[in-house]
Chains A and B, each alone.
Chain A
Amino acid sequence: MFAAPHDSIASSASLPAARERVQLTIEVDDLAVCYRSFGSEPVTALADFSLRVPAGEILGVLGPNGSGKSSLLGVLAGSLVGSQGRVRVLGRNPTDPTLLREVGFQAEGPLPFRTCTPQAFLVRVAALCGIPRRRSRARVEALLAQVDLGAVASKRTVANLSTGMARRLALAAALLVDPRVLLLDEPTSGLDPEGSLLVMDLLRARAEAGGTVVIASHHLQEIEQTCTRVVMLAGGRKAAEGTLDQLLGTEEDELVVAGLDDDRMARVCTTIADLGGRVVRTQRRREHLFALFRRLRRGAT
């Protein structure tokens, strides 16, 4: 691994006091990304975009189609070069080849090397990352088991994998280098709930281990359940940024009550009214389908 010269700067007021001085893994200042192609007008995908991401954070990037999410991830991964602005990942320019061993990137879209088996695919990607074959084999097998592709590792080709399997394989490819920064573009697109849970559990585990994860996604519920902070893009510009509490918090408090019959519940409501409060809604609390799925899966395993 390479010794990365981390910068430490004072965090913004929104971060907790305990993290006033944090290790920044991603710094973006005034980034603009503009696509030019022969015979057509230039298209500005991102403009005036700034961002700070500390280590250990799971950042969600939300926005409608064409809002610049993939362009942002492309720049952070070093696949794209911004037309202006300053970008640093682990203190280095994203195009620095040494970052290939520290930044994992799962791009949107189909996978290359479609005639390879998943195992051969990962070994080839590892070789392209500069990991020798004899060293990569054990890592590849572990990753295939981790993303639940062990059963098809050498039986199917990449072209014959289902959409969900291909997404999980792409995630395994991004995890090959055991990255400190993980950039994921639509990681759960096309995955079944079980696959989504698997991926989100993996991401949480990486963040808990000190890794930084950036996810661009349309799946709002997953972002809400997984991310510690969210950036919303619209028309290539930042529309909102903050923790979920900052962005979604309301003036209302929620009281969850268990073990009372209807009469006693009515008395609770009366008491609240007497105290000057207002009961907005009372209803039998229902479990979310996603939580039921997770509970059933845990029960099954």
Chain B
Amino acid sequence: MTRALVAARLEPARAAFAAVLRRGLVAWLLALPLALVAARAGSTAAAGASAGGLAVLWLHLPGVLLALAAIVATVDAWPLFGRDREGGALVRRLRRTSLDGCGMAAAGGTVAAAVLLTAAGASFAVACRAFLDLEAPHTFVRVAAAPPSPALDARRDRMVLRGDGTVADAVRLNPLVAWAPGTLFVPVELDVTVDGVRVGRGCRVSGNGEQIVLPLPTPRAVHTLELARVGAATLTLLFPAGSVELRAEAPRSLAMNMALAAACYASPALLALLAAATLRRVLGSPALLTFAVATFAILALVELGPESPALTAGARGRWILGEPLAWRPTVLAALALTAAAAVGPKLAVVGPFRKRRTTRT
């Protein structure tokens, strides 16, 4: 294939890329100050709450707006998105591929969105550091619990976990708590020892969601971690996978972390555009645009992609490339089933009527 033909194939991506950069920049310039002001106001209004946790809510705003701008600009830029678009006949003649160039346009728009989202996330992080005191992210390494069961209760008050020698500067515990109704509620106290050095004594745990972060006296390679339940507690502590972690010593770039987290928003935008591409010849452009935006909103809300957990992890000071972030295909299957359940009965009712109308002579 010659370079000219390759360029011809890439032209829809180029058109969408330029359009998204142009429009996305406007969305970014609008969203960024708004998000910063809101994050600042929210963090100062909520006494005792985590500034990072509140800021992450507002980091969604530039992400969502930029992704939406990318969807709108891409659909608008490529005239074969939608039936009976202005000039569609001319372009369709020149672009005879399976998706009429809409797939390539979706890719170009998404790349532009990712570029803008990355820049938006990085600039937001820089601003957040100045305004909200976000901490630099670290890589967290999971420590595997020893068999047979990762629990501390009245029968088993000691647990040893194996580290992989990661040079860490802190230990993070996030256990689950079980309490048998009818018994006295006595919180658990934990002693934590790292390679024979006690780093925590009598740490109280009384409910789920309580996080214990124990800094090590000096950063060190961790090989064993011992948890001991002390006192006369009635609660049981459970340590599922990921509930005991070591914080790696070297901090990572906050800007890079937030940029990567924001860039994750490009994935639901891409899915929404590809879904719109499949209906390009069925729906007119306003209906197709509505469909794409609605698809994006649903995908973002159900957290099919990693964008929301990535932003949360970023705001909690976790290096997101070290996080087990993944797509959740089961959510997609559930979505498809829900859509089928919602649309199927309607089609069953409306279909025969339409058929009768079309066959009338």
Per-residue B-contact encoding for A78-89, CB less than 8 Å = 1, 0 else: 110000000000
Pair A130/B5 contact, Cβ less than 8 Å: yes
Pair A124/B96 contact, Cβ less than 8 Å: no
Q: Which of B19, B92, B358 contacts A40 (CB 8 A)?
A: B358
Which size class do B's interface residues fall under?
A: 20 to 34
Interface with B: A8-16, A111-119, A227-235, which one? A111-119
What A residues does B19 contact at CB under 8 A? 115
Q: Which of B8, B87, B95, B96 contacts A111 (CB 8 A)?
A: B87
Q: Which of B15, B86, B96 contacts A109 (CB 8 A)?
A: B86
Pair A133/B7 contact, Cβ less than 8 Å: yes
What A residues does B5 contact at CB under 8 A? 130
User: Who on chain A is nearest to B22 by CB?
Assistant: A115
Pair B96/A173 contact, Cβ less than 8 Å: no
Pair B95/A128 contact, Cβ less than 8 Å: yes
Q: Which of B54-101 contact A (CB under 8 A)?
A: 77, 79, 85-96
What A residues does B86 contact at CB under 8 A? 109-112, 114
Alpha-carbon distance A100/B4, docked complex (angstroms)? 13
Q: Which of B3, B14, B96 contacts A132 (CB 8 A)?
A: B3
How many A residues, CB 8 Å from partner? Answer: 30
Q: Does B11 contact A (CB under 8 A)?
A: yes
Pair A39/B93 contact, Cβ less than 8 Å: no
Question: Shortest beta-carbon distance, A76 to chain B, in Å?
Answer: 11
Pair A112/B7 contact, Cβ less than 8 Å: no
Q: If A124-B11, A124-B15, A130-B5 touch, does A112 touch B91 (CB 8 Å cutoff)?
A: yes
Alpha-carbon distance A40/B360, docked complex (angstroms)? 10
By secondary structure, the B interface counts as helix
User: Who on chain B is nearest to A133 by CB?
Assistant: B7
What A residues does B91 contact at CB under 8 A? 112, 128
What B residues does A205 contact at CB under 8 A? none
Pair B15/A113 contact, Cβ less than 8 Å: yes
Alpha-carbon distance A100/B94, docked complex (angstroms)? 7
Q: Does A191 contact B (CB under 8 A)?
A: no
Alpha-carbon distance A97/B79, docked complex (angstroms)? 20
Per-residue A-contact encoding for B1-42, CB less than 8 Å = 1, 0 else: 011110110010011000100000000000000000000000
Q: Which of B158-214 contact A (CB under 8 A)?
A: none
Question: Shortest beta-carbon distance, A271 to chain B, in Å?
Answer: 60
Alpha-carbon distance A40/B85, docked complex (angstroms)? 21
The interface centre, meaning the residue of B4, B85, B357 with most chain A CB atoms within 10 A of its CB, is B4
Per-residue B-contact encoding for A130-147, CB less than 8 Å = 1, 0 else: 111100000000000000
Alpha-carbon distance A83/B92, docked complex (angstroms)? 19
Alpha-carbon distance A173/B5, docked complex (angstroms)? 18
Q: Does B354 contact A (CB under 8 A)?
A: yes
What B residues does A72 contact at CB under 8 A? none
Question: Shortest beta-carbon distance, B274 to chain A, in Å?
Answer: 21
User: Who on chain A is nearest to B80 by CB?
Assistant: A112
Pair A105/B96 contact, Cβ less than 8 Å: no
Question: Shortest beta-carbon distance, B73 to chain A, in Å?
Answer: 10
Q: Does A74 contact B (CB under 8 A)?
A: yes
Pair A127/B11 contact, Cβ less than 8 Å: yes
Question: Shortest beta-carbon distance, B279 to chain A, in Å?
Answer: 13
Pair B4/A130 contact, Cβ less than 8 Å: yes
Per-residue B-contact encoding for A13-44, CB less than 8 Å = 1, 0 else: 00000000000000000000000001110000
Q: Does A129 contact B (CB under 8 A)?
A: yes
Pair B87/A129 contact, Cβ less than 8 Å: no
Alpha-carbon distance A133/B79, docked complex (angstroms)? 20
What B residues does A173 contact at CB under 8 A? 90
Pair B358/A39 contact, Cβ less than 8 Å: yes
Alpha-carbon distance A74/B90, docked complex (angstroms)? 10
Pair B7/A77 contact, Cβ less than 8 Å: no
Q: If A124-B11, A124-B15, A128-B94 touch, does A112 touch B4 (CB 8 Å cutoff)?
A: no
What B residues does A95 contact at CB under 8 A? 96
Question: Shortest beta-carbon distance, B12 to chain A, in Å?
Answer: 8
Question: Shortest beta-carbon distance, B91 to chain A, in Å?
Answer: 5
Pair B11/A132 contact, Cβ less than 8 Å: no
Q: Which of B4, B79, B89 contacts A74 (CB 8 A)?
A: B89
Alpha-carbon distance A239/B75, docked complex (angstroms)? 43
Alpha-carbon distance A24/B219, docked complex (angstroms)? 85
The interface centre, meaning the residue of B8, B95, B354, B357 with most chain A CB atoms within 10 A of its CB, is B8
Q: Does A125 contact B (CB under 8 A)?
A: yes
Question: Shortest beta-carbon distance, A114 to chain B, in Å?
Answer: 7
Q: Which of A78, A79, A112, A128 contacts B8 (CB 8 A)?
A: A128
Alpha-carbon distance A240/B61, docked complex (angstroms)? 65
Q: Offer 13 A-B interface pairs, CB within 8 angstroms, sorted by A.
A: A39-B358, A78-B93, A97-B96, A100-B93, A105-B93, A107-B93, A110-B87, A112-B88, A128-B95, A129-B94, A130-B5, A133-B7, A173-B90
Q: Report, nearest first, the 6 A-B pairs whose CB atoms are least far apart.
A: A112-B87, A112-B79, A128-B94, A110-B86, A130-B8, A79-B93
Please name 18 further chain A to chain B contacts, defined as beta carbons within 8 Å, in addition to the given A79-B93, A130-B2, sorted by A numbering: A39-B354, A74-B89, A78-B93, A79-B89, A105-B90, A109-B87, A110-B86, A110-B87, A112-B86, A112-B91, A113-B15, A114-B86, A115-B77, A125-B90, A125-B94, A128-B91, A133-B7, A170-B90
Binding site for A on B (CB under 8 A): 2-5, 7-8, 11, 14-15, 19, 77, 79, 85-96, 354, 357-358
Binding site for B on A (CB under 8 A): 38-40, 74, 77-79, 95, 97, 100, 105, 107, 109-115, 124-125, 127-133, 170, 173
